[in-house]
Amino acid sequence: MAENGEEKLLAVARHIAKTLGHNESMADDILQIFSTFDGRFSREKLSEGQPGEDGSTVTALERALNSLDSQISRFVAADQPIWADPADSAAFLDAIDELVNITREWSHVANEKPVGVCLARADEMLQQAMFRVEEEFRSLMERGAESFAVNSHRLDSDEEVEGDDDYDGDQIPVAQPLTDYDLIIDALPSATINDLHEMAKRMLAAGFGKSCSHVYSACRREFLEESVSRLGLKKLSIEEVHKMPWQELEDEIERWIKSANVALRILFPSERRLCDRVFFGFSSAADLSFMEVCRGSTIQILNFADAIAIGSRSPERLFKVLDVFETMRDLMGEFESVFSDQFCLVLRNEAVTIWKRLGEAVRGIFMELENLIRRDPAKAAVPGGGLHPITRYVMNYLRAACRSRQTLEQVFEESNGVPSKDSTLLTVQMSWIMELLESNLEVKSKVYKDPALCYLFLMNNGRYIVQKVKDGDLGSLLGEDWIRKHNAKVRQYHSSYQRSAWNKMLGLLKVDNTAAGMNGLGKNMKEKLKQFNVQFDETCKVHSTWVVFDEQLREELRISLARLLLPAYGNFIGRFQNLGDLGKGKNADKYIKYGVEDIDAHINELFKGSTTARK
């Protein structure tokens, strides 16, 4: 043992002289200095172990290899984990380091046959050692995970987050589902990470970097994929997503949003940090290992988003597609920072591509909404000229969409359209949909045979449109000028209804002063009263079944009609009653069916609608 220790000491001295000496002369001088301090460092002993000088040097090399072989073989053949005992692991690593140093020291004379044979043996010993290190590396990764407890704390406080007390040791442990993303997770105990780093350093130095990366990636990938699965995200193909019923898909999107946020903000950064610590000093190996660990889970997350992007463009899907778009947008910073290395470039670029594809999907949904409006048939008339379902659907849809106005502005700005001087592309899009809706309602109004009911229908729907625009974000998007113009349209429909339905009746209340004498005038007024009574009865009977959904508009119409009819009717019957005996008593009652109050009461019964019309 003492002899072996002296050989080691001499080898160290020779190594120092070789390292510090810039040439052969300087190395000799350093060896001479060593010999003056200790007899063991005599010039003869120091010189006889230098490679390439004589056969005795090969003997020294063989003795050193024999010693190391004995040590390494003992560890390689051990039944118990080497890293269970810190002293054993340190001795094993020291032996590996010495073997690597000897190989390097003698590599420049490897072409000499005796030395070459020894170096081949050393390489075989190193391989056996690396196989055992790989086995220990894998075992330590697994043992470290098994003893893992979620040890996280908030960045802005000392509050700890407990792990699952019901953890089953037979299953792979995972990070618990969390809603607060401001967290740090230590994926493995610090001591385990240090041991893994020491092993990785030896494997990489010995040329076993790929094996090391493969073992590391396999262990951590399984952990990560199980963690994502625990968050509720299923492994679904694009075809499976497309076949899923919409209600189920909505739930799946909610789970995806949670999983994507936890993965990109907590799990992936934690894996990045773990890789950097295990492979500290070997950035390329760290980058490659991280990519291999996260690639499967990242592709799973991206594939789901892509399935949503290329799926159905049905209008009711807009809001969930917007949720996926916003999630991807908000995570772009994480994709850029976490996947910043060359190996992850493909994943980073794919994330950007799918995010843009989701924007295209949103624009496509608006195109489908336009088609839905165009295709909506104009066959069946809405009872009583009431609110058409397409009006209610489109306006509520646009109001809801405008709650995501900022996102929609971004989506449409990324299209190839050119905004006008005073409008954004979203404003142009919304204005166009409103124009399509109005044109569609104009066509639908032609279904009514009665022109008055046609105008009432347009008035009802126009008023609803304006109210929905004024009461939400849609108003600020379309602007005050748009609202003023469409209020004017509603007033025009009001005037057209009144003119169409009541002007003829109003004409009957005009006194014909050209009639010859009192008898001629009286006869003319009697005839007009008869016609008025018939027309008023018929109009009130019909118009009372028509509907005006807006209470304020209904009241405005009634007041307008009262102002139109009551003065004219009051004047007319007053004049009739002044025609002597013809306009008094029983004679007057035969022709004056309604008093002014009666006319007013009948007007107040208009536009209540039948049960069907009110629906």
Domain ranges of the chain: 83-148+185-206, 207-370, 387-497, 501-605
Banded pLDDT at 71 (limits 50, 70, 90): confident
Residue 453: burial class (beta carbons within 10 Å; 0-12, 13-18, 19+)? buried
Domains 207-370 and 501-605 share a fold: yes
> What does the angle CA 291 – CA 296 – CA 297 come to, to the nearest 5 degrees?
100
Per the CB < 8 A criterion, the answer to whether 271 and 220 are in contact is yes
Average pLDDT over residues 511-515: 66
Taking the C-alpha atoms of residue 202 and residue 218, their distance in angstroms, rounded to an integer, is 19
pLDDT at 186 > cutoff 80: no
Per-residue model confidence (pLDDT) at position 472: 82
Taking the C-alpha atoms of residue 585 and residue 597, their distance in angstroms, rounded to an integer, is 19
pLDDT at 581 > cutoff 90: no
472-484 pLDDT, tens digit per residue, is: 889 999 999 999 9
Per-residue model confidence (pLDDT) at position 423: 80
CA–centroid distance for 516 within its chain: 85
> What does the angle CA 480 – CA 486 – CA 487 come to, to the nearest 5 degrees?
85
Class of domain 501-605: mainly alpha
pLDDT at 146 > cutoff 80: no
CA–centroid distance for 405 within its chain: 16
Per-residue model confidence (pLDDT) at position 575: 84
Per-residue model confidence (pLDDT) at position 165: 43
Q: Which two tokens stand for residue 307?
A: 């399935």
> What does the angle CA 180 – CA 183 – CA 185 come to, to the nearest 5 degrees?
130
Per-residue model confidence (pLDDT) at position 40: 58
Average pLDDT over all residues of the chain: 83
Per the CB < 8 A criterion, the answer to whether 424 and 412 are in contact is yes
Per-residue model confidence (pLDDT) at position 159: 38
Give the residue from 127, 110, 126 showing the smallest Cα distance to 118: 110
Range from 297-301, 358-362, 418-422, 570-574 carrying the lowest mean pLDDT: 418-422
pLDDT at 399 > cutoff 80: yes
Range from 48-57, 398-407, 431-440 carrying the lowest mean pLDDT: 48-57
Residue 175: burial class (beta carbons within 10 Å; 0-12, 13-18, 19+)? buried
CATH fold of 207-370 reads Monooxygenase (1.20.1280)
235-292 pLDDT, tens digit per residue, is: 999 999 999 999 999 999 999 999 999 999 999 999 999 999 999 999 999 999 999 9
Give the residue from 185, 184, 206, 188 showing the smallest Cα distance to 196: 188
pTM: 0.77
pLDDT at 196 > cutoff 70: yes
Per-residue model confidence (pLDDT) at position 385: 93
Amino acid at 483: I
158: which residues sit within 8 A by CB, 6+ positions away?
none
Provide the β-strand partners of residue 153. 160, 184
Q: Which two tokens stand for residue 511?
A: 């006194």
